[in-house]
A = this chain, B = another copy of it.
């Protein structure tokens, strides 16, 4: 399959997968195209060591990728696990990238929706063939532990990419490419052509470069746009691998490889802003800080801007019939990847008079002690703890954690954990602090990282009011409620609709509030300030293309 294969042939080859993905995206039941377990039973004996060797071979080298107009090179990454990376990339010239992208438009337009989806599916297939290598790249740039990097950064990211392909293919083929029209004696043939909006720009983040980057990349590609991929200087390698694969597939399909290019830069070069405001860049996908996301929304006026920023993920505690399950589930949610997920709960609201549980009524003090104990139990074994916590991605998170540690009310301080395999790793347990509902200056600020607050409120009703008001104002990607009362659950659902956030209810087992599954869970809503769209729905793809019609009379058929 690595010889010359046309986009139409790639569509034919991947048609079954694409049809299945479209049907899964519509049914919203559980489906995954890429196995999430890195075990030998699934991937064979050789996959893991081969991926390890491929990753190691990249270290200390110039990454093999050609970038139109690049001058010099940059090397900007630092492993949160403390190993030397030393990978360098061509340093991008933004104007040259835009010019190269524009030049690639006509051929990509002519490939048509199915051809583009075929190319996208082949890109995903070849990325999947390198998923162990990709997982190492994600681990050593984001600080995700290896298994999580394999899942969230590998298999699940590929699923999210395929989901975007499915939505984009469905949306661009919903109107027929050609349709006859007859009104009495008047007859016309009408043709519809999908045309991309312009050059797409994907601005990656440090924590989930692939999981958050793939949806925009594949949505823009399949809807007919060339894409410039601008990784965060701290997490270039996963996206460089991605762009390398994209360009290989495009070349092998006889297409201009500049349909996808890499924009690597020195920290502080600011080429994201230069690119995002270029008149030919018409689509911007961004994941990262609220500050730059808001700036993009305000300034990238020539583009449609899809941002996923940050917010105040909230837990409302009312009552439970599985207290032990609640504690274990919540402790894991706070600990997973050291709370460095845009979906990790920050604000945990509990009524002053406590919550009813199957273990008796628990006051806020008691609940705080129980949660602390649950965290200590979960993270008691350093080896297992490291696999859950991963490493601290950068100095910004570390600084916030230090700042939170100086405050009063800390009931679970953050502690350092050593890693046998990577002695240079920066691993920390989560911090939990007690606050009162009146301390809103503290808890309405986002503390991205392993910092959460247990906040005492007057009542569950008060908790729901704080939930709605703070999320409406500051955004959130997730919310969780625990209650055994149908009326409280109904009120929580209404509050979540008013707040504009997805809601999880009574999670006490193996499903966590911070995880969303492709083809089933929407991620982000657009209905609160944390994001302008969901991953992935029709709104996320329909702004990336236009449908242009042409019409002409059909030749008159002689009736004789």
Contact = CB atoms under 8 A, between A and B. Distances in A.
Interface of A: 26-30, 109, 171, 174-176, 179-183, 185-186, 188, 190, 192-193, 195, 197, 298, 301, 493, 496-497, 500-511, 517, 520-522, 525-527, 534, 537-539, 542-543, 546-553
Contacts of A497: 109, 193, 195, 548
Contact of A504 (B181, B501, B552): B552
B511 A553 contact: yes
In the A-B complex, the 4 residue pairs with the smallest Cβ-Cβ separation, listed nearest first, are A527-B546, A505-B552, A28-B179, A539-B542
B521 A546 contact: no
B548 A525 contact: yes
**Which of A185, A193, A497, A548 has the most CB atoms of chain B within a 10 A radius of its CB?**
A548
Contacts of A301: 298
Given A179-B27, A548-B500, A507 B542 contact: no
A30 B190 CA distance: 11
Contact of A543 (B27, B506, B539, B552): B539
Nearest to A510: B186
A69 B206 CA distance: 51
B553 A542 contact: no
Given A186-B509, A186-B510, 4 more contacts: A193-B497, A504-B552, A521-B549, A543-B543
Nearest to A175: B28
A179 B29 contact: yes
Given A537-B547, A548-B525, A190 B500 contact: no
Contacts of A552: 504-506
A226 to B, nearest CB: 15
A479 to B, nearest CB: 9
A8 to B, nearest CB: 20
B509 A171 contact: no
Contacts of A500: 195, 546, 548
A520 B550 CA distance: 11
B550 A525 contact: no
A141 B135 CA distance: 66
